[in-house]
Structure 1
Amino acid sequence: MKTTPLTRGLDRAFAWVGGIALVALMLHTVANALSRYLGGRPIEYSTEIIAGYYLPTLVLMGILLAHLRREHTSADLLTAKLTPAGQKALAIVAEVLVSVLAIGIAVFSAQEGMHAMSINQVYGVTDVPIWPIKLLIPLSFALYAVLAIATLVATIRHGVPVQPHDDVQPHEEEEVVA
Protein backbone atom coordinates (compact mmCIF):
# COMPACT_ATOMS: atom_id res chain seq x y z
CA MET A 1 0.00 0.00 0.00
CA LYS A 2 1.31 3.41 -0.94
CA THR A 3 2.47 5.61 1.91
CA THR A 4 0.20 8.62 2.26
CA PRO A 5 -0.39 11.16 5.02
CA LEU A 6 -3.38 9.02 6.08
CA THR A 7 -1.36 5.79 6.32
CA ARG A 8 1.44 7.62 8.15
CA GLY A 9 -1.12 9.02 10.58
CA LEU A 10 -2.71 5.62 11.13
CA ASP A 11 0.73 4.08 11.60
CA ARG A 12 1.58 6.70 14.23
CA ALA A 13 -1.77 6.32 16.00
CA PHE A 14 -1.61 2.52 16.13
CA ALA A 15 2.01 2.64 17.32
CA TRP A 16 1.25 5.21 20.02
CA VAL A 17 -1.80 3.38 21.35
CA GLY A 18 0.08 0.07 21.33
CA GLY A 19 3.13 1.69 22.91
CA ILE A 20 1.05 3.28 25.67
CA ALA A 21 -0.61 -0.09 26.33
CA LEU A 22 2.81 -1.75 26.53
CA VAL A 23 4.24 0.85 28.91
CA ALA A 24 1.11 0.75 31.06
CA LEU A 25 1.30 -3.06 31.14
CA MET A 26 4.95 -2.97 32.22
CA LEU A 27 4.46 -0.27 34.85
CA HIS A 28 1.36 -1.93 36.25
CA THR A 29 3.10 -5.31 36.39
CA VAL A 30 6.16 -3.89 38.16
CA ALA A 31 4.00 -1.86 40.57
CA ASN A 32 1.95 -4.95 41.35
CA ALA A 33 5.08 -7.05 41.96
CA LEU A 34 6.57 -4.34 44.21
CA SER A 35 3.29 -3.97 46.09
CA ARG A 36 3.12 -7.70 46.62
CA TYR A 37 6.78 -7.96 47.67
CA LEU A 38 7.10 -4.79 49.76
CA GLY A 39 3.56 -4.37 51.01
CA GLY A 40 2.53 -8.01 51.20
CA ARG A 41 -0.49 -7.32 49.04
CA PRO A 42 -1.00 -7.04 45.28
CA ILE A 43 -2.73 -4.11 43.66
CA GLU A 44 -6.42 -4.95 43.50
CA TYR A 45 -7.66 -6.19 40.10
CA SER A 46 -4.19 -6.04 38.51
CA THR A 47 -4.55 -9.34 36.69
CA GLU A 48 -7.94 -8.37 35.30
CA ILE A 49 -6.78 -4.96 34.10
CA ILE A 50 -3.55 -6.26 32.59
CA ALA A 51 -5.17 -9.26 30.86
CA GLY A 52 -8.45 -7.54 30.07
CA TYR A 53 -7.28 -4.13 28.86
CA TYR A 54 -3.56 -3.76 28.19
CA LEU A 55 -2.90 -7.09 26.43
CA PRO A 56 -5.90 -6.98 24.05
CA THR A 57 -5.11 -3.38 23.14
CA LEU A 58 -1.48 -4.26 22.49
CA VAL A 59 -2.41 -7.26 20.34
CA LEU A 60 -5.07 -5.42 18.33
CA MET A 61 -2.76 -2.49 17.59
CA GLY A 62 -0.01 -4.96 16.62
CA ILE A 63 -2.33 -6.68 14.14
CA LEU A 64 -3.24 -3.35 12.55
CA LEU A 65 0.39 -2.17 12.42
CA ALA A 66 1.62 -5.43 10.94
CA HIS A 67 -0.92 -5.23 8.14
CA LEU A 68 -0.37 -1.53 7.50
CA ARG A 69 3.40 -2.01 7.36
CA ARG A 70 3.13 -5.32 5.46
CA GLU A 71 5.17 -6.97 8.18
CA HIS A 72 3.10 -10.08 8.77
CA THR A 73 5.13 -13.23 8.95
CA SER A 74 5.09 -14.92 5.58
CA ALA A 75 6.67 -17.99 4.13
CA ASP A 76 7.15 -17.42 0.42
CA LEU A 77 8.76 -20.78 -0.17
CA LEU A 78 5.98 -21.78 -2.60
CA THR A 79 4.77 -18.39 -3.78
CA ALA A 80 8.26 -17.37 -4.88
CA LYS A 81 8.11 -20.13 -7.49
CA LEU A 82 4.89 -18.77 -9.00
CA THR A 83 4.85 -16.44 -11.98
CA PRO A 84 4.08 -12.77 -11.26
CA ALA A 85 0.53 -13.36 -12.51
CA GLY A 86 0.19 -16.35 -10.18
CA GLN A 87 1.54 -14.35 -7.25
CA LYS A 88 -0.93 -11.57 -8.00
CA ALA A 89 -3.86 -14.00 -8.22
CA LEU A 90 -2.88 -15.66 -4.95
CA ALA A 91 -2.44 -12.27 -3.26
CA ILE A 92 -5.91 -11.22 -4.44
CA VAL A 93 -7.51 -14.42 -3.14
CA ALA A 94 -5.69 -14.01 0.19
CA GLU A 95 -6.79 -10.37 0.61
CA VAL A 96 -10.40 -11.25 -0.26
CA LEU A 97 -10.35 -14.00 2.39
CA VAL A 98 -8.71 -11.68 4.95
CA SER A 99 -11.28 -8.95 4.19
CA VAL A 100 -14.24 -11.31 4.55
CA LEU A 101 -12.85 -12.78 7.78
CA ALA A 102 -12.15 -9.32 9.26
CA ILE A 103 -15.66 -8.14 8.37
CA GLY A 104 -17.15 -11.27 9.94
CA ILE A 105 -15.16 -10.82 13.14
CA ALA A 106 -16.07 -7.11 13.26
CA VAL A 107 -19.81 -7.84 12.89
CA PHE A 108 -19.85 -10.73 15.36
CA SER A 109 -17.73 -8.93 17.95
CA ALA A 110 -19.84 -5.75 17.57
CA GLN A 111 -22.92 -7.78 18.50
CA GLU A 112 -21.07 -9.29 21.45
CA GLY A 113 -19.71 -5.91 22.53
CA MET A 114 -23.12 -4.26 22.39
CA HIS A 115 -24.62 -7.11 24.42
CA ALA A 116 -21.78 -6.89 26.97
CA MET A 117 -22.36 -3.14 27.26
CA SER A 118 -26.12 -3.58 27.66
CA ILE A 119 -25.65 -5.92 30.62
CA ASN A 120 -22.63 -4.01 31.99
CA GLN A 121 -20.52 -7.16 31.78
CA VAL A 122 -17.67 -7.41 34.27
CA TYR A 123 -14.47 -9.46 34.37
CA GLY A 124 -15.22 -12.74 36.17
CA VAL A 125 -16.53 -12.12 39.69
CA THR A 126 -14.93 -8.69 40.01
CA ASP A 127 -16.35 -5.21 39.57
CA VAL A 128 -14.01 -4.48 36.63
CA PRO A 129 -16.10 -3.81 33.51
CA ILE A 130 -14.93 -5.81 30.50
CA TRP A 131 -17.35 -4.41 27.93
CA PRO A 132 -15.19 -1.39 26.93
CA ILE A 133 -12.45 -3.61 25.51
CA LYS A 134 -15.12 -5.72 23.80
CA LEU A 135 -16.02 -2.58 21.82
CA LEU A 136 -12.39 -2.07 20.75
CA ILE A 137 -12.39 -5.47 19.05
CA PRO A 138 -15.03 -4.66 16.37
CA LEU A 139 -13.51 -1.23 15.82
CA SER A 140 -10.08 -2.77 15.29
CA PHE A 141 -11.34 -5.47 12.95
CA ALA A 142 -13.43 -2.97 10.98
CA LEU A 143 -10.23 -0.93 10.49
CA TYR A 144 -8.41 -4.14 9.60
CA ALA A 145 -11.07 -4.90 6.96
CA VAL A 146 -10.66 -1.41 5.49
CA LEU A 147 -6.87 -1.85 5.35
CA ALA A 148 -7.27 -5.30 3.75
CA ILE A 149 -9.68 -3.94 1.15
CA ALA A 150 -7.30 -1.06 0.40
CA THR A 151 -4.48 -3.60 -0.02
CA LEU A 152 -6.75 -5.68 -2.26
CA VAL A 153 -7.48 -2.68 -4.49
CA ALA A 154 -3.78 -1.78 -4.62
CA THR A 155 -2.91 -5.38 -5.52
CA ILE A 156 -5.49 -5.46 -8.31
CA ARG A 157 -4.23 -2.15 -9.69
CA HIS A 158 -0.48 -2.50 -9.22
CA GLY A 159 0.31 -6.14 -8.56
CA VAL A 160 1.78 -7.84 -5.52
CA PRO A 161 3.27 -5.28 -3.13
CA VAL A 162 6.91 -5.69 -2.30
CA GLN A 163 7.47 -6.86 1.24
CA PRO A 164 9.32 -4.26 3.33
CA HIS A 165 12.45 -6.34 3.74
CA ASP A 166 12.59 -8.08 0.34
CA ASP A 167 15.64 -6.06 -0.66
CA VAL A 168 17.62 -6.92 2.48
CA GLN A 169 20.18 -9.61 1.90
CA PRO A 170 21.19 -11.86 4.79
CA HIS A 171 24.52 -10.98 6.36
CA GLU A 172 27.34 -13.45 6.13
CA GLU A 173 28.40 -14.93 9.42
CA GLU A 174 31.39 -13.10 10.78
CA GLU A 175 34.05 -15.10 12.50
CA VAL A 176 34.34 -14.16 16.14
CA VAL A 177 37.87 -14.16 17.48
CA ALA A 178 38.04 -14.90 21.19
Structure 2
Amino acid sequence: MEKLLRRGSDLFAWVGGIALVVMMLEISADVILRTLFNKPLPLTVEIVSFYYMVAVVFMPMALVEFTGHHISVNLVTQHLNKPAKLTVQFIAMTAALIYFALMTFQTGRQALESLEMHEYLMGAFALPTWPGRFTLPLGCGAYCLVLIVRLVQICRGVDIDAEFESDANLTEGA
Protein backbone atom coordinates (compact mmCIF):
# COMPACT_ATOMS: atom_id res chain seq x y z
CA MET A 1 0.00 0.00 0.00
CA GLU A 2 2.81 2.39 0.90
CA LYS A 3 4.57 1.71 -2.42
CA LEU A 4 1.40 2.46 -4.37
CA LEU A 5 0.90 5.66 -2.43
CA ARG A 6 4.52 6.63 -3.05
CA ARG A 7 4.10 6.07 -6.79
CA GLY A 8 0.94 8.16 -6.79
CA SER A 9 2.75 10.88 -4.86
CA ASP A 10 5.58 10.77 -7.40
CA LEU A 11 3.07 11.12 -10.24
CA PHE A 12 1.36 14.07 -8.57
CA ALA A 13 4.75 15.73 -8.02
CA TRP A 14 5.55 15.27 -11.70
CA VAL A 15 2.24 16.93 -12.59
CA GLY A 16 3.18 19.85 -10.33
CA GLY A 17 6.64 20.03 -11.91
CA ILE A 18 5.23 19.99 -15.44
CA ALA A 19 2.78 22.73 -14.45
CA LEU A 20 5.73 24.78 -13.16
CA VAL A 21 7.66 24.42 -16.42
CA VAL A 22 4.62 25.18 -18.60
CA MET A 23 3.77 28.16 -16.40
CA MET A 24 7.32 29.48 -16.79
CA LEU A 25 7.18 29.05 -20.57
CA GLU A 26 3.79 30.74 -20.87
CA ILE A 27 4.76 33.69 -18.69
CA SER A 28 8.06 34.10 -20.56
CA ALA A 29 6.27 33.99 -23.91
CA ASP A 30 3.74 36.53 -22.64
CA VAL A 31 6.48 38.91 -21.48
CA ILE A 32 8.45 38.57 -24.73
CA LEU A 33 5.36 39.05 -26.94
CA ARG A 34 4.15 42.00 -24.87
CA THR A 35 7.57 43.67 -24.81
CA LEU A 36 8.63 43.12 -28.41
CA PHE A 37 5.33 43.16 -30.28
CA ASN A 38 2.86 44.75 -27.85
CA LYS A 39 0.75 41.56 -28.20
CA PRO A 40 0.44 39.71 -24.87
CA LEU A 41 -0.91 36.18 -24.73
CA PRO A 42 -4.60 36.30 -23.84
CA LEU A 43 -5.72 34.92 -20.49
CA THR A 44 -2.18 34.33 -19.18
CA VAL A 45 -2.97 35.67 -15.71
CA GLU A 46 -6.18 33.66 -15.51
CA ILE A 47 -4.62 30.39 -16.72
CA VAL A 48 -1.69 30.80 -14.33
CA SER A 49 -4.07 31.55 -11.44
CA PHE A 50 -6.68 28.87 -12.06
CA TYR A 51 -4.49 26.03 -13.32
CA TYR A 52 -0.71 26.25 -12.90
CA MET A 53 -0.33 27.84 -9.46
CA VAL A 54 -2.74 25.45 -7.77
CA ALA A 55 -1.02 22.43 -9.35
CA VAL A 56 2.45 23.71 -8.44
CA VAL A 57 1.50 24.16 -4.78
CA PHE A 58 -0.87 21.29 -4.01
CA MET A 59 0.09 18.37 -6.26
CA PRO A 60 3.57 17.75 -4.75
CA MET A 61 2.45 18.00 -1.09
CA ALA A 62 2.11 14.24 -0.60
CA LEU A 63 5.61 13.55 -1.94
CA VAL A 64 7.07 16.35 0.17
CA GLU A 65 5.59 14.70 3.28
CA PHE A 66 6.71 11.25 2.16
CA THR A 67 10.30 12.44 1.81
CA GLY A 68 10.28 14.53 4.99
CA HIS A 69 10.99 17.81 3.24
CA HIS A 70 8.28 19.91 4.87
CA ILE A 71 9.73 22.69 6.98
CA SER A 72 9.90 21.62 10.60
CA VAL A 73 11.39 23.09 13.72
CA ASN A 74 12.28 20.67 16.49
CA LEU A 75 13.54 23.12 19.10
CA VAL A 76 11.22 21.69 21.75
CA THR A 77 10.80 18.10 20.58
CA GLN A 78 14.55 17.41 20.34
CA HIS A 79 14.69 17.56 24.17
CA LEU A 80 11.73 15.21 24.75
CA ASN A 81 11.94 11.51 25.45
CA LYS A 82 10.61 9.15 22.77
CA PRO A 83 7.06 8.64 24.18
CA ALA A 84 6.54 12.40 24.59
CA LYS A 85 7.97 13.06 21.13
CA LEU A 86 5.65 10.45 19.58
CA THR A 87 2.70 12.05 21.39
CA VAL A 88 3.56 15.47 19.97
CA GLN A 89 4.00 13.97 16.49
CA PHE A 90 0.66 12.15 16.81
CA ILE A 91 -1.15 15.35 17.82
CA ALA A 92 0.47 17.33 15.00
CA MET A 93 -0.31 14.70 12.35
CA THR A 94 -3.88 14.31 13.62
CA ALA A 95 -4.46 18.07 13.50
CA ALA A 96 -3.01 18.23 9.98
CA LEU A 97 -5.16 15.28 8.89
CA ILE A 98 -8.34 16.88 10.23
CA TYR A 99 -7.53 20.20 8.57
CA PHE A 100 -6.62 18.73 5.19
CA ALA A 101 -9.51 16.24 5.25
CA LEU A 102 -11.92 19.15 5.74
CA MET A 103 -10.13 21.07 3.00
CA THR A 104 -10.36 18.05 0.68
CA PHE A 105 -14.06 17.66 1.39
CA GLN A 106 -14.93 21.33 0.95
CA THR A 107 -12.83 21.93 -2.17
CA GLY A 108 -14.05 18.63 -3.66
CA ARG A 109 -17.63 19.74 -3.11
CA GLN A 110 -16.90 23.08 -4.75
CA ALA A 111 -15.17 21.35 -7.68
CA LEU A 112 -18.21 19.14 -8.26
CA GLU A 113 -20.53 22.17 -8.11
CA SER A 114 -18.26 23.96 -10.59
CA LEU A 115 -18.36 20.94 -12.92
CA GLU A 116 -22.13 20.67 -12.62
CA MET A 117 -22.64 24.28 -13.70
CA HIS A 118 -19.78 24.19 -16.27
CA GLU A 119 -18.17 27.20 -14.62
CA TYR A 120 -16.04 29.40 -16.83
CA LEU A 121 -14.43 32.81 -16.72
CA MET A 122 -15.34 35.40 -19.31
CA GLY A 123 -12.55 37.49 -20.73
CA ALA A 124 -11.15 37.82 -24.21
CA PHE A 125 -12.14 34.13 -24.45
CA ALA A 126 -14.33 31.90 -22.31
CA LEU A 127 -12.00 29.94 -20.02
CA PRO A 128 -13.47 26.87 -18.29
CA THR A 129 -12.36 27.01 -14.67
CA TRP A 130 -13.96 23.81 -13.41
CA PRO A 131 -11.11 21.45 -14.47
CA GLY A 132 -8.57 23.38 -12.38
CA ARG A 133 -10.83 23.19 -9.34
CA PHE A 134 -10.17 19.44 -9.05
CA THR A 135 -6.44 19.95 -8.54
CA LEU A 136 -6.77 21.15 -4.97
CA PRO A 137 -8.91 18.28 -3.60
CA LEU A 138 -6.73 15.74 -5.42
CA GLY A 139 -3.52 17.15 -3.93
CA CYS A 140 -5.01 17.53 -0.45
CA GLY A 141 -6.59 14.07 -0.61
CA ALA A 142 -3.25 12.47 -1.50
CA TYR A 143 -1.66 14.42 1.35
CA CYS A 144 -4.31 13.04 3.73
CA LEU A 145 -3.44 9.48 2.70
CA VAL A 146 0.23 10.12 3.47
CA LEU A 147 -0.73 11.62 6.83
CA ILE A 148 -2.66 8.44 7.62
CA VAL A 149 0.48 6.42 6.83
CA ARG A 150 2.45 8.71 9.16
CA LEU A 151 -0.10 8.22 11.95
CA VAL A 152 0.14 4.44 11.57
CA GLN A 153 3.94 4.69 11.74
CA ILE A 154 3.74 6.79 14.90
CA CYS A 155 1.31 4.31 16.48
CA ARG A 156 3.87 1.58 15.73
CA GLY A 157 6.49 3.59 17.64
CA VAL A 158 8.38 5.03 14.65
CA ASP A 159 9.89 8.45 15.35
CA ILE A 160 9.23 10.03 11.95
CA ASP A 161 11.49 13.01 12.69
CA ALA A 162 14.45 10.74 13.45
CA GLU A 163 13.91 8.92 10.15
CA PHE A 164 14.41 12.14 8.22
CA GLU A 165 17.06 13.66 10.48
CA SER A 166 19.41 10.81 9.55
CA ASP A 167 18.70 11.52 5.85
CA ALA A 168 19.44 15.23 6.40
CA ASN A 169 22.71 14.45 8.15
CA LEU A 170 23.78 12.29 5.21
CA THR A 171 23.09 15.07 2.69
CA GLU A 172 24.78 17.76 4.82
CA GLY A 173 28.04 15.80 4.83
CA ALA A 174 28.04 15.46 1.04
- Consecutive unaligned residues of structure 2, counting only runs of 5 or more, are none
Q: Which amino acid aligns with 1:58?
A: V
In 1, Cα distance between equivalents of 2:3 and 2:110: 33
Percent identity between the two aligned chains: 24
Greater CA deviation, 135-144 or 124-133? Answer: 124-133
Displacement, 1:145?
A: 1.0
Report the TM-score when normalising by structure 2. 0.87
Q: In the alignment, what sits opposite 2:99?
A: 101
Bigger radius of gyration: 1
In 1, Cα distance between equivalents of 2:126 and 2:157: 51
Q: How does 1:13-162 map to 2 (within 5 A)?
A: 13-123=11-121, 125=123, 127-161=126-160, 162=162
Displacement, 1:114?
A: 1.1
Root mean square deviation of aligned Cα: 2.1
Q: Secondary structure at the match of 1:77?
A: coil
- Consecutive unaligned residues of structure 1, counting only runs of 5 or more, are 172-178
Instruction: Please tell me whether the aligned partners of residues 7 and 68 of structure 1 are also in contact (alpha carbons under 8 angstroms).
Output: no
- Residues 75 and 42 (structure 1), Cα distance of their counterparts in 2 relative to 1, 3 Å cut: same
Instruction: Map Cα deviations across residues 127-151 of structure 1 (whole Å, 9 max, x no partner).
Output: 1111111112112211111110111
Q: Secondary structure at the match of 1:72?
A: coil
Q: Which amino acid aligns with 1:168?
A: N
- Residues 130 and 101 (structure 1), Cα distance of their counterparts in 2 relative to 1, 3 Å cut: same
In 2, Cα distance between equivalents of 1:7 and 1:109: 21
Instruction: Please tell me whether the aligned partners of residues 35 and 42 of structure 1 are also in contact (alpha carbons under 8 angstroms).
Output: yes
In 2, Cα distance between equivalents of 1:80 and 1:124: 53
In 1, Cα distance between equivalents of 2:112 and 2:24: 30
Q: Secondary structure at the match of 1:123?
A: strand
Q: In the alignment, what sits opposite 2:164?
A: 164
Instruction: Map Cα deviations across residues 94-114 of structure 1 (whole Å, 9 max, x no partner).
Output: 111111111111111111111
In 1, Cα distance between equivalents of 2:40 and 2:51: 18
Instruction: Please tell me whether the aligned partners of residues 71 and 163 of structure 1 are also in contact (alpha carbons under 8 angstroms).
Output: no
More helix by share: 2
Instruction: Give 4+ residue runs of structure 1 displaced > 6 Å after superposition.
Output: none
Q: Secondary structure at the match of 2:126?
A: coil
